[in-house]
Structure 1
Amino acid sequence: MRIVSMALITALGLSVAACGSTTANRSVYSERQPVVSKTNFVLDLSAGNGGLSSSEQNRLSGWFDALDLGYGDRVSIDDPSYSASPVAKTAVEAIVASYGLLISETAPVTEGNVPAGQMRVVVTRASASVPGCPDYSYRSHTDFQARTSENYGCGTNSTLAAMIADPEDLVRGQNADGEDQSRASKAIRAYRDKKVGGQ
């Protein structure tokens, strides 16, 4: 009788432990995925018909240095009233080019109106993170329903989010338009066409 009672208590304990799990993922697909968020930084510059003054150019360069502008950042010019002269836009493009970047064609929507006689430079920065990782809220145990733990995939996806150079590649990827695919596959072709030699 004692053996039966102990077996019954053990079975009830395992069933309660299984019911207490909040993870219902029975696949090998991770529920913890990288999330990409964007932040817009704006700077209004005085840009009259004479172009961009040297003081405004220095202010723009100092602003870029403070933001640590680099690869992955999107720089655009917001001039809805077309009040800025092409000379001023060319000056901004030259400064952006010194950081190894190009001006994006479309500017994002920002708060407030651009005053007359000024143009707005917008820096859009994306960052990737995996919310809720790591998750050690539930103790690991034997699961007879083959469910993955809540922490499953946290290590891989957090590392991917931390190491990717351009977080927007996690959303859209890179566009191959305009690339010479025959040149890109030249090394692979040479490796495959190489004749096998021996001693």
Structure 2
Amino acid sequence: MPFAHTSRIARLPAIALGLAACFGLAGCGGMPTNQSLYSVKQPVVERTNYTLDLAANASGLGIAEQQRLNGWFETMDLRYGDRITVDDPTGNPAVTNAVADLAGRYGLIVKGSAPTTPGALAPGQVRIVISRSTAYVPGCPDWSAKSDMNYSNGLSPNHGCATNSNLAAMVADPQDLLEGRKGSSETLINTSNKAISTFRDATPTGAGGLMDASAGGGNGGGN
């Protein structure tokens, strides 16, 4: 019996060490694992299509349909970055021109092919599509790493959330995050030539001669 009692006491330190190791590993479970310099929290762009079906005729859109379309544009609060397209099975240019005239009041143009949308068009109808994109960063903020230990020297899971979330919120056209803007070589040449011409045409700083620093300097102390 004394031997059995001594054996139990001897096992207590080993059990305590095992529990301590388990608790230590559990605390390491929240340590960062991203050892690169890049954030895994990146902006995501989502696009939603809004549609309105209108009755069309050979001359385009009637007054009543134009009023419906203009009211819909106001309700949708058209903004920079929205893309407007016309789904017209007949391809009547008068319809596109009527829509373009109304869209121009909001500073937008109608171009491109309409995306595929659910639902079939009735005969004599056209579909106006507004494609609107939004950008956000999923999973932010992320404070999942609650451990102060960082044996892997990894980045915080929240790294990049502030910068990328602000970028997604401030970008005027979220589609620019996907493909950017393509400028023409003519525009770049005109811009560079304008700066060069301004520099060349500027009047030299020494063209006006030198200032007479001694003029009126002798009478300053007498007054």
TM-score (norm 1): 0.82
Aligned-pair RMSD on alpha carbons?
3.1
Q: CA deviation at 1:112?
A: 1.0
Q: CA deviation at 1:183?
A: 2.3
2:8 aligns with none
Query: How far did 1:98 drift?
Result: 1.2
State the alpha-carbon separation in 2 of the partners of residues 192 and 51 from structure 1. 52
Q: What is the letter of the counterpart of residue 102 of structure 1?
A: I
User: Residue deviations 1:12-46, cap 9 Å, x none?
Assistant: 59962673136321011000000000000000010
Q: Which runs of 5+ in 1 are unaligned?
A: 1-7
Cα gap change, 1:87 to 1:168, in 2 (>3 Å)? same
Structure 2, unmatched stretches of 5+, are 1-16, 211-223
Check conservation: 1:18, 1:143, Cα contact below 8 A: no
Q: Which amino acid aligns with 2:67?
A: N
Alignment CA distance shift 1:20-1:187 (3 Å): farther
Counterparts of residues 83-162 of structure 1 (less than 5 Å)? 85-139=92-146, 141-162=148-169
Alignment-derived partner of residue 189 in structure 2: 182
Say if 2:78 is the partner of 1:66.
no
1:56 pairs, out of 50, 61, 65, with: 65
CA distance in 1, matches of 2:97, 2:139: 44
Deviations 1:51-101 (A, max 9, x none): 21111101101101111001100000011x21x633222111100111111
SS in 2 for 1:87: helix
Q: 1:139 to 1:19 in 2, by over 3 A?
A: closer
Structure showing greater Rg: 2
The alpha-carbon distance between structure 1 residues 41 and 185, as it changes in their structure 2 partners (threshold 3 A), is same
Between 85-94 and 32-41, report the one with greater CA deviation.
Answer: 85-94
Distance 1:141 1:190 in 2: 59
CA distance in 1, matches of 2:149, 2:195: 46
Aligned-residue offset at 1:131: 0.4
| Distance in structure 2 (CA, Å) of the matches to 1:44 and 1:62 | 13
Deviations 1:136-188 (A, max 9, x none): 22225131221001111000000000000000000000011364212223466
Report the residue type matching 1:93 in the other structure: A
Give the Cα–Cα distance (whole angstroms) in 2 for the partners of residues 178 and 109 of structure 1.
33
Query: Aligned residues: percent identity?
Result: 43
Q: What amino acid sits opposite 2:134 in the alignment?
A: S
Q: Tell whether the 8 Å contact from 2:135 to 2:174 is kept in structure 1 after alignment.
A: yes
Cα distance in 1, alignment partners of residues 94 and 71 from structure 2: 20
